[in-house]
């Protein structure tokens, strides 16, 4: 497995798959159009966030979107994992874990002392995050009316 920054063609493939990634990441609660997915991602890319992709035999198998953010209360800067996705046919092979580890190392090299992410309750990715040392920091609660 190779992990690197994608080229323009690969970024277009990521953007084409972003609605699926968002749908799965939100456990089906959000089914965004291609346009909406781009509206979510493009500002991040313009503000310095970037993708890392995993490849096997020059075929993209997954990606992670990482960058910086700031705490709304303290103003403290931290690294953030905005998106993680592995194509269905490549799941169960440790790709997610390796993408996260590589992303964490990149953010550490950029000077961040903390990395955060958001994940929907019930998302199976939580087990991977927990196995790498991530812990609950805030919890969003809701009630249907």
Rg (CA), the chain: 15
| Pairwise CA distance, residues 133 & 122, whole Å | 18
- Domains, the chain, in order of start with CATH, read 2-131 (3.40.630.30)
What is the b/e burial string over 47-59, where b = at least 16 CB atoms within 10 angstroms of the residue's CB? eebebbbbbeeee
Q: What is the pLDDT of residues 47-77, one digit of tens each?
A: 999 999 999 999 999 999 999 999 989 999 9
Partner residues linked to 83 by β-bridges:
65
Q: What is the pLDDT of residue 20?
A: 86
Q: What is the pLDDT of residues 10-59, one digit of tens each?
A: 999 999 999 888 888 887 777 778 888 888 899 999 999 999 999 999 99
Q: pTM, whole model, 2 decimals?
A: 0.91
């Amino acid at each position: 497995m190779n992990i690197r920054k994608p080229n323009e063609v690969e970024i277009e493939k990521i953007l084409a798959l972003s609605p699926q990634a968002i749908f799965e990441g939100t456990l089906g609660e959000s089914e965004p159009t291609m346009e909406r997915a781009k509206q979510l991602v493009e500002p991040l890319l313009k503000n310095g966030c970037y993708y890392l992709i995993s490849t096997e035999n020059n075929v993209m198998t997954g990606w992670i979107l990482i960058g910086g953010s700031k705490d709304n209360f303290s103003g403290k800067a931290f690294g953030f994992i905005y998106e993680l996705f592995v194509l269905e046919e490549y799941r169960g092979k440790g790709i997610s874990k390796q993408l996260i580890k590589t992303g964490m190392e990149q953010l550490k090299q950029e000077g961040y002392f903390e990395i955060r992410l958001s994940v929907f309750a019930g998302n199976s990715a939580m087990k991977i995050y927990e196995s790498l040392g991530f812990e609950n920091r805030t919890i969003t609660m809701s009630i249907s009316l």
